Structure 1
C-alpha cells in the first residue's frame, strides 16, 4: 500500500507502448496521453468519492430526515459498496479502455447492450458533476457573504462549472496536479478535524452515544423509510471509486493499477468518512439549532475552531472543487469513448481530441448539459439522488454484462476474485437492487423518480433511433 500511495514515478515507455498496443487491438487509435502513475490513478478514484464533498453536500438532508441516527446508514452502505468495488475490480483487467461503463459490457456482450449501462453512467456523471458544483456553491456563497438565495447559488454553480471547463481545455495534466494536492487537503481538512472533534467530544461528554440513535425530533423515532432517505448521503458519496477505470487510457499499466486504486480508495474513504461523521455528531453543541441549520457542519466547525474556521473551510472548498473537477474528467472520457463508436449525437465532434490531448468538444458539451440540469433541478437532494440511482443501475448492468468473465481463469499477476466472482456478483446485484428501491421509495420529492424515468426513456428512444442500427454492424 505504501508503494502504491507513493509519489508517481516515471514509467518505462515500453510499458506505455504495450498499453497503447492493447488499445490498438480493440480497434482504436491511442489519442489520450498516459500521464498518470499509481498515486494519480488512486487520487482519481479517491477524489471522485470525496468524503468531504459527499458529507458537506448531504449532511443537512440526512440529519433533517432521520436525525443523528442517520449516521448508521454509512457503514451499511460502505460494506455493500466495497462488495461492488471488488466485483468491478475483477472485471477491470479485461478491457483497459476509457469509459468503462460502456466499453466493458460492449466488449463482453455487445455494443447494443453496452449502450444502456454507458448511457446511465453518462447520465449519472451529467447530474453528479453539477451536484458537486452546487454543493460547493451552497457552502461558499453564504460563507463569503453572497447570501443564501437559490438564484445566487445557481449563478455561482454555473461559474464553477465554467472554471472546470477551462482547466480541462488546458489538459488533464493540470487537473491531475490540482487533484493530487486535494488528497492532502481532504485528509487534513476532514480527518484531522473529525478526529479532533471526536477526541474533544469523548473527553468532555458533549453528547453520549445514545444521541446517535435519536430521530429527527425527540418525539419521533427513526423509521426504515426515513433511514432510507437519509442513506442518500452515503449512497452518493461512496460511488466514483470506478473513476480510475474511466481514465484507463491515461494511466500507466491500467490492468495492474486500476483495480487496486478502486478497492483501496473506497476502503480508505469508508473508514475516513465514518470517523469524520462520529466526530461531528458527538461534538454537536446545540442539537436543535444544528438540525434546523442549512449548513450544520459549518456551524459545528465554527463553534469549536473559532479563528481557525477559515483555514478549515479553505481546505474543504479545495477538496470539493477538485472532486467536481475530476468528475468532469470521468464524464468527458466516457462521452469520448462512446462517441468513438458513433453512438452519441454529434459523435465525430465529441470524439475530437485537441493538441493538448483533451476531448475538448466533450468538455464543452458536458458543461452546457450540466448547467442546463442545474437550472432545471436547483435542489441539491434532487441532483444527487438522480445521480446516485443512475450510477447504481449502471453498476448492475455492467456486472450482468461481465457475468461470463467469471468462467475465465485468473489473470495471473492481475487482480482476480477467481471462483468467488459469481457468488459475490450475485450479492452485489442484490445489494444494488435493495439500495435503488430504497432511494426511489424514500420520502422526498416526486421529481427524482420522474427525472430518472425521463433519463431511461431518452436512452431507449435513442437506442431505437440510432444505436440499434449503428451498433448492429459490429
Structure 2
C-alpha cells in the first residue's frame, strides 16, 4: 500500500470522526480500519493482553518453585519498572496514534532500519505470546474436569501427556480466535469487552475469597523457601511478573480503530497496567496466604488451581476456574489481534514478504484478514513445539517475554537519546506532543521535566530485564539435563530472529535497490489536529 496525501481522505468509516481521518492522512496513511472503539474498548485491549488471570495462573507455580513466598516482592519491583516504560509509551501514543505502535514509534525516533527491527522482534514475540497464551488452557481445563485431558492421564504441563494435550487444546483455541479476528471489528471488540468485564469480576472475587481463607499472615513473604535463595527469588522469580505485565501497549496498537486516540490511548495504557498490577499482586499474595501448604510441593507444581480447588472446594473452585478459561480465550484473541495490527502496519509500508496481501483491509469488516490468519498459523506452528518436549512450554513463555522486552527497549532507548539531544520537546512538526483544537497550546500527555529521569529508568530496566530473561540458566531451562538447546533456546531464538530479519532486509535491498527503508517514509507528527 502506498501512502496518501492529506487531501486524499476517504469518507469516514462507522464511528469515525473526520478529524481522526484527517490526522491519519497527515501521517501519510488512509483510514481503512473502522474507528469504532471507545475508552472502555481501548482499556480492554491492553488489559486483556496482560490478562492477569491467564498469566498468573500459568506462571504462579514457576515463580513460587524458585523463589518461595518471597517471590511476591518481585511483583512490585517489575510493576515499578513497567510503569516507567508505560509512561514513555503514553507520551508516544499521544503523539503517534498509529497501528503497529512499537514499529511506528521506534521508526520515527530513530532510523527506519532500526525501527523495522523493533517491529520485527515485536511481531515475532507477539506471535509467540499468542501460542503461550493458548497453551495456558492446560493449566486450568483439566483441573475443572478430567475429561479435558484428551491425551494420557498426567495433566501436569511439564509432563509428556500434559504437553501434548496442551498443544491439542491450543490448536482448537487458535482456530476459534482466528475466526473471530476475521469478523467485523465491532464483534471482536464486543467479545473483548465482555471477556475483560468477566475477568475483572472474577479476579476481584478470587482475591476476596483467598484473603478470607488465609492460613498465614503476610510476614511469610519474607521467607524464600525456594530453590534459588534470595537472589533466585529476585531474578528467576521475577519471570512471573515479567510475563504477566506486558502488552499494555495494545491500546496504542489499536489507535487507528479508537476514537480520539490522542486522548484515549495514553490514559488506557496506564490504566490497563495499573489495574492489572494491583489485581495481579493481590492474586499472588492471596495465593501464598491461602494455600493449604507451602511445603507439600503442590503449590510449586499446580499453582493457583490447586489453591482454589483445595481451599474453596471443588464446586466454587471450578466455577472460578471457568472464569479463568474465559480470560485465557479473550487474552489469546486480544494478543492475536495486536499481532495482526503490527503485521498490517509494517506491510502497508512494504516492509514484509507478501506485503501487498498483508496490507489489505476488508472494506466490509474493517479487518486485515491476511495478518490475522498469519498470526494464527504462526502461533499454531509454535504450539506444535510442545509436542517435541515438555520443556518447550517454559522455553516458549520466556522467549516471547524476552522478545517483547527487547522491542520495548528499542523504543525507550531512542526516545532517551532524542531527549538528551534536545530533539524531543514541545513545538511544531518534529517536536512535542501534538495538541488538538483549543488544547493546541499544551500537550495532551507529557512527562515534562520528569521525562529524562523516567526515560532513563525505563531504558535501564528494559535492558536489564531482557538480559535476565534470556540468560541461559540450566536450572531453569534444562532442569533434567541433556537438552542444551533448551538452555540456550531464548538466546538462539533471538539470534535466529535477528538473522532472518537481516536476511530479508538484504534481499529486499538487492531486489528494490533501496537500503532497507520503508517503501514510504513515515511522516512526522502533525503539529495539531482538529
TM-score by length of 1: 0.91
Which of 310, 313, 337 aligns to 2:321? It is 313
RMSD: 2.2
Distance (whole Å) between structure 2 residues aligned to residue 236 and residue 391 of structure 1: 10
What is the aligned partner in structure 1 of residue 284 from structure 2?
277
What is the aligned partner in structure 2 of residue 376 from structure 1?
385
What is the aligned partner in structure 1 of residue 459 from structure 2?
429
Contact 2:102 2:118 in 1 (8 A): yes
Distance (whole Å) between structure 2 residues aligned to residue 375 and residue 226 of structure 1: 31
Q: CA deviation at 1:460?
A: 2.1
Considering fraction of residues, name the structure with more helix: 1
Which of 403, 426, 451 aligns to 1:408? It is 426
Q: CA deviation at 1:456?
A: 2.0
> How big is each residue's C-alpha offset from its partner over 1:417-468, in whole Å with a ceiling of 9 and x where there is no partner?
1232122111111111221122122542212222222222222222222266
Distance (whole Å) between structure 2 residues aligned to residue 168 and residue 122 of structure 1: 16
Q: CA deviation at 1:413?
A: 4.9
**Structure number with bigger Rg:** 2
Contact 1:382 1:448 in 2 (8 A): yes
1:198 and 2:211 are equivalent in the alignment: yes
What is the aligned partner in structure 1 of residue 49 from structure 2?
48
Q: CA deviation at 1:223?
A: 3.4
The more displaced of 459-468 and 19-28 is: 459-468
Which of 321, 336, 358 aligns to 1:328? It is 336
Give SS of 1:29's match: coil
Distance (whole Å) between structure 2 residues aligned to residue 448 and residue 394 of structure 1: 15
1:444 and 2:476 are equivalent in the alignment: yes
1:245 and 2:252 are equivalent in the alignment: yes
What is the aligned partner in structure 2 of residue 462 from structure 1?
504
Give SS of 2:247's match: coil
> How big is each residue's C-alpha offset from its partner over 1:217-259, in whole Å with a ceiling of 9 and x where there is no partner?
5xx5623135312211110111111101111100001111000
Distance (whole Å) between structure 2 residues aligned to residue 119 and residue 65 of structure 1: 32
TM-score by length of 2: 0.82
What is the aligned partner in structure 1 of residue 35 from structure 2?
34
Q: CA deviation at 1:311?
A: 1.6
The more displaced of 208-217 and 112-121 is: 208-217
Q: 1:71-110, aligned counterparts within 5 Å?
A: 71-110=72-111
Give SS of 2:384's match: helix
Q: CA deviation at 1:267?
A: 1.2
Distance (whole Å) between structure 2 residues aligned to residue 462 and residue 144 of structure 1: 46
Give SS of 1:295's match: helix
How many positions carry a matched residue from both structures?
458
Distance (whole Å) between structure 1 residues aligned to residue 46 and residue 69 of structure 2: 28
What is the aligned partner in structure 2 of residue 158 from structure 1?
171
What is the aligned partner in structure 2 of residue 365 from structure 1?
374
Cα distance change of structure 1 residues 226 and 309 upon mapping to structure 2, 3 Å threshold? closer
Structure 1's unaligned 5+ residue stretches are: 1-10
Distance (whole Å) between structure 1 residues aligned to residue 317 and residue 304 of structure 2: 11
Contact 1:406 1:422 in 2 (8 A): no
What is the aligned partner in structure 2 of residue 471 from structure 1?
517
Cα distance change of structure 1 residues 67 and 293 upon mapping to structure 2, 3 Å threshold? closer
Higher relative contact order, chain-length normalized (CA < 8 Å, sep 6+):
1
What is the aligned partner in structure 1 of residue 296 from structure 2?
289
What is the aligned partner in structure 2 of residue 8 from structure 1?
none
Cα distance change of structure 1 residues 13 and 336 upon mapping to structure 2, 3 Å threshold? closer
Q: CA deviation at 1:113?
A: 2.3
Give SS of 1:287's match: coil
